[in-house]
Structure 1
């Protein structure tokens, strides 16, 4: 990982999982320990959940379809989170979308897809997308005993925890850092932000934009949170070109296709980064119904349509107010 600590600093930024990570603490003396805890948490999540690592635990269990497998505590927590999210979103966010995502061309790390495009002599299609869509089999086919840490994945069912594992990692890291150091902490992994402990005066101010990598330099709005999490899902950041046309990483499990293009970005504040990200992702898949769906769950949200018009619901401030 990149990123360095300086004496008296409270923040470090680095690259991880083809995205940017941010760690901020309220106590400068806690930063070195906080970084160690964050690195350890990210390594644990990657080893357990990565679809792109042949040696990951999730890939190992998928090589024994139909067999009951005992999970590590980390993968067990990740599966519990993914299945809870699936049920809470009416299976709009479903961990069994692996085959659908691969069929759309997301068959390797997003950086590898972009590198292929960058190296092309002409603007060319990359990835291995096919014309056939592949609806998700459905998370209800999985047999998970969380108490005994057992999971059975039927033959023909793949798993992709990309919609939940990163946000879960942010939540887990923020909680363990606060437990270890007593400091207030913010952990940002891509568009998924978790906070824990005592927030600074006025709360944690977060810049929001279509692309989290440019949000602080060119924010579309700013909000402040004191607890829980905030997540932004977008169709514009993890995107690529394929022989079948432009694609992005969000998939409607019901069709196996990218969702109908209604929202390009959705930001949600919730009790955790996991819940915020799940709601933001489900909202993009919901399409036109998303504002009503988010409002019914009392989740402060900001939705940006394909024309750039922002809609706010459930107490999220209008952009011009820029207040929590």
Structure 2
């Protein structure tokens, strides 16, 4: 997708905020508190992944920012516009691709996308809409009724509808749920192109490997509270754990007491030693450990390492917050 949608903007740490959430809370009439004093800033031009277990508050937060649900307290600014006091201006800045596939089945692709643009008071722009449909590989389906399309194509139509009014902020709620691998890959290429064109992307996904690959920053929500927001690289560095697995030349009965500080795990058969460490201790820890093992006459015939994935970190964070481990 070329930069016709907008000029490229930076998505680095110095980028100005495009979404500002302050003291946001939502309590339903039943008394259920879905969100508790949320403070969150989304940077202009970034891809921000919002992760959390089912029922954590992800969809409620998105729906409030998009103007679908009213907040109980707090404020939200979308590109400088208050979502309550200046609803129309705020809403025109936002596109939403919902998880559910709901479109007018009897309309053509072109008619439904063109109508969606008109809902936001935008003047007709067939050149722009043609570009959106071409970028989403929908142009040859423009006259097809939506009911005749595959599930993957219907999801592309939802994205086209969300982009029809040229938003600067795009919410993707589980955008690849139920989508085959090839289409998922195409969609993420499109997301990258959108980000490069200046659109800010906020996504939720159950495929944590996608967030690990795509996102600039990660936010984790649990029990209606934001428990962490961090640059992805920093998060992986700070919370990621690595393991060094040593296959020993001969079985070991027990780990020498002098090596207790390494918290080594010895396998039941005594043939494998596992050393778990963080990035800070990587350089000095491994070299010192291997030297001390040699001093104790403990030789190894093979070694390999592994490291935490974003999923490992996410599960650990949610568990420590007293929630289930479902993504």
Smaller-chain TM-score bracket: under 0.3
- Structure with higher Rg: it is 2
For normalisation by structure 1, the TM-score amounts to: 0.24
* Greater percentage in helix: 2
